[in-house]
Amino acid sequence: MINTRMLVLAVAGAIACGSSVQAEDTFRIGLIDPLSGPAATTGEVGLKTWQFLAGEVNASGGLNGQKLEVVGYDNKMNPQETAIQAQKAIDSGVRLLVRANGSAPGVALNDFLNKFNERNPTKQTLYFDYAGADPAATNEKCSYWQIRWAANIDMKVLALASFLKGQADTKKLYLFNGDYSTGQGIQKAMRTNMAEKRPDVQIVGDELVPLMKVNDFAPYVEKIKASGADTVVTGAWGQDLALLLKAAGEAGLRVKWYTFFAQGIGSPTAVRQSGLPSHTVFQIYEAHANLPSVAYREEEKNFRAVVGAGQTMMYPGSVNAMDMFSKAARDLKTLDVAKIVASLEGAKFKPRAGGDGWIRAEDHQVFQPLYVASIGPIEKDKGFDEENTGWGWRQIGEVKPEDTLVPTTCQMKRPQ
């Protein structure tokens, strides 16, 4: 039978590649993110970021005599693929997984680890979500084995609302989001928060557009125009954001754009191309290249030196994650992730970006200051620009972590 012959060969191959040998003195970190296909751009930056951070740790003598190595696993943005890649990583000795892109893979990984760590107590594995935005991952789908180092979208919306409180010129608000969980989340949270913080603001439009399916946003732009909005809050990202801004630029729509994902790859370029006037596109995020914090700008400089001048360090969460992980490892003198996660519960820390941060024990959600910035021309060596567009972020507001406190529904199952 051919199929049997094939199967043997195939699986033999699988093993050959699957379980690669690891040196004794290296601690391997598995990054599970899209490394092929359209979403790979973000995944690759994530991989570079973690390899950069691991390099820093190694330069400072590694952790407890062990060098860090970051290995990428391609989950193709697919939750099921995420599970199998996690399995592969753990098999090859990985005990710390990191991941950021897409909420489905995130939830899948939480789910996988909850069961896996229970079923295989000897191979318990920790997982850092270094940029995930889906609230579910720290609410109904939360996991003891996950720590989320980025603010989830509910927190960001809350923060934005409290920022807009101080923005008198925002009177007519238009909500423009993708028709998927995060988009719907933004829509809902914005409405409730604005009603509470700025009841005077009138929500003149509320759009949910199918994800990555719209070719021409001009009709939507016409609609926004017709609504007479002065401010648009959008969770659009990547292609959708680019097309939206482009159409707006063409039609000469002049509003303030408050975005959640404008630091994403290609988006600064898109802003630049759109022909929109400077400092009309805003983002709210854990950091930006031109923060007041000297320490962070230093890190940004080193990062760009390694990865390329155009690429900002777009995952500040990973910096905190690596800092806190190595600190815990050194304090406890161990790399046993079970001990480490236990020690991190409720831990307080000082983010390099500035301010205070802490890991909430109930849901392992990290709280830290968020920054509102607008993009516009940056003079040479007066700061970093984005993607070599000559435009960069300028801070216009900071939101204290206390103003991002959202309750959690997480019922965490802690191992006995």
Partner 1 sequence: MLQLVTFSILNGLLYGMLLFLLASGLTLIFSMMGVLNIAHASFYMLGAYFGFQIAKEIGFWPALLIAPLAVGLIGALIERYGLRRVHAYGHVAELLFTFGLAFIIEELVQMIWGRVPVDYRIPAGLNTTAFTLFNTSYPTFRVFILLIAVAVFGLLMLLVTKTRVGLIVRAALTQPRMVGMLGHDVPRIFMLVFGLGCALAGLAGVIAGPVFVTQPSMAGVFGPILFVVIVVGGLGSLAGALIASLLIGLVQTFAVALNVSIGTVMGAVGISSPPLLLDELWPVTIAQIAPVVPYLLMVLLLIFRPTGLLGRRM
Partner 2 sequence: MTAHSLLSAGSLGPARWVNSLVANAGFALAWAAAAMLLVVLPLIFKSDSAIAVMCIIGVSVVFALSYNMLLGQAGLLSFGHAIFFGLGGFCAIHVMNAVAASHAPVPLVLIPLVGGLGGLFFGIVFGSLASKRGGTIFAMISFGLGELVSSAAPILNRFFGGETGITTDRSALYAPFGMNFGPQIQVYYLIAGWCFISSLAMYFVTRTPFGQIMRAVRENPERLEFIGCSTRRVRFVAFILAAFFAGVAGALAAINFEIMTVSNVGGNQSAMVVLMTYIGGIGYFVGPVIGAVLITLMQILLSDITAGWQMYLGILFVVVVMYAPGGIAALFGPEGMAAQAWHSPRQFVLVMPMLLTVVGGMLLIELGYQVGLKSSDGPIRVLFGIAVNSRSPLPWLVGLALVIGSFCGLRFATAPADRMPAVLRELTGVPHG
What's the closest the beta carbon of residue 217 comes to partner 1, in angstroms?
9
Axis crossing angle, helix 316-332 with helix 337-344, rounded to the nearest 10: 110
The secondary element (H helix, E strand) that includes residue 124 is: none
Residue 371 — φ and ψ, nearest 5°? -125, 135
Q: Is 41 in the site for partner 1 (CB under 8 A)?
A: yes
What's the closest the beta carbon of residue 109 comes to partner 2, in angstroms?
10
Nearer to partner 1, 104 or 218 (CB): 218
Nearer to partner 1, 166 or 210 (CB): 210
Q: Is 281 in the site for partner 1 (CB under 8 A)?
A: no
Which residues lie near partner 2 (CB under 8 A)?
1-4, 6-8, 10-15, 17-19, 35-37, 40, 48, 73-74, 76, 78-81, 83-85, 87-88, 90-92, 102-104, 106-108, 111-112, 115, 119, 134, 136, 141, 179-182, 184, 210-211, 213, 307-308
270 binds, among partner 2, partner 1, none (CB under 5 to 8 A by kind): partner 1
Q: Is 250 in the site for partner 1 (CB under 8 A)?
A: yes
Beta-strand relationship, 348-349 and 391-399: unpaired
The secondary element (H helix, E strand) that includes residue 34 is: none
> Per the structure block, which two tokens stand in for 143?
């996991």
Single out the residue of 168, 165, 167, 172 nearest to residue 197, CA to CA. Answer: 165
Nearer to partner 1, 218 or 295 (CB): 218
Nearer to partner 2, 213 or 254 (CB): 213
Residue that the structure tokens 């849901």 belong to: 363
Nearer to partner 2, 83 or 337 (CB): 83
- Hey, which residues does 29 pair with through a beta bridge? 70, 96
What part of residues 20-39 is at the interface with partner 1 (CB under 8 A)? 38
DSSP string, 107-173: HHHHHHHHHHHHH-GGG--EEEESS---GGGGTTT--TTEEE-S--HHHHHHHHHHHHTT-TT--EE
347 binds, among partner 2, partner 1, none (CB under 5 to 8 A by kind): none
Q: Is 225 in the site for partner 1 (CB under 8 A)?
A: yes
Q: Which of 208, 307, 338, 342 binds partner 1 (CB under 8 A)?
A: 208
What's the closest the beta carbon of residue 281 comes to partner 2, in angstroms?
25
Q: How far apart are CA 138 and CA 364, in angstroms?
A: 7
Long-range contacts from 222-225, C-beta under 8 angstroms, 24+ separation: 222/251, 224/174, 224/176, 224/248, 224/253, 224/255, 225/251, 225/253
Nearer to partner 1, 48 or 272 (CB): 272
Asked if residues 241 and 354 have their Cβ atoms less than 8 Å apart, the reply is no
- Piece in contact with partner 1 (CB under 8 A), picked from 7-15, 262-270, 285-293, 340-348: 262-270
216 binds, among partner 2, partner 1, none (CB under 5 to 8 A by kind): partner 1
Q: How far apart are CA 228 and CA 223, in angstroms?
A: 9
Asked if residues 102 and 71 have their Cβ atoms less than 8 Å apart, the reply is no
**Cα-only R_g, the chain:** 22
80 binds, among partner 2, partner 1, none (CB under 5 to 8 A by kind): partner 2
195 binds, among partner 2, partner 1, none (CB under 5 to 8 A by kind): none
Beta-strand relationship, 256-259 and 281-285: parallel
| Residues found near partner 1 in the complex (CB under 8 A) | 38, 40-41, 179, 207-210, 212-216, 218-220, 222-223, 225-226, 239, 242-243, 246, 250-252, 265-266, 269-270, 272-273, 275
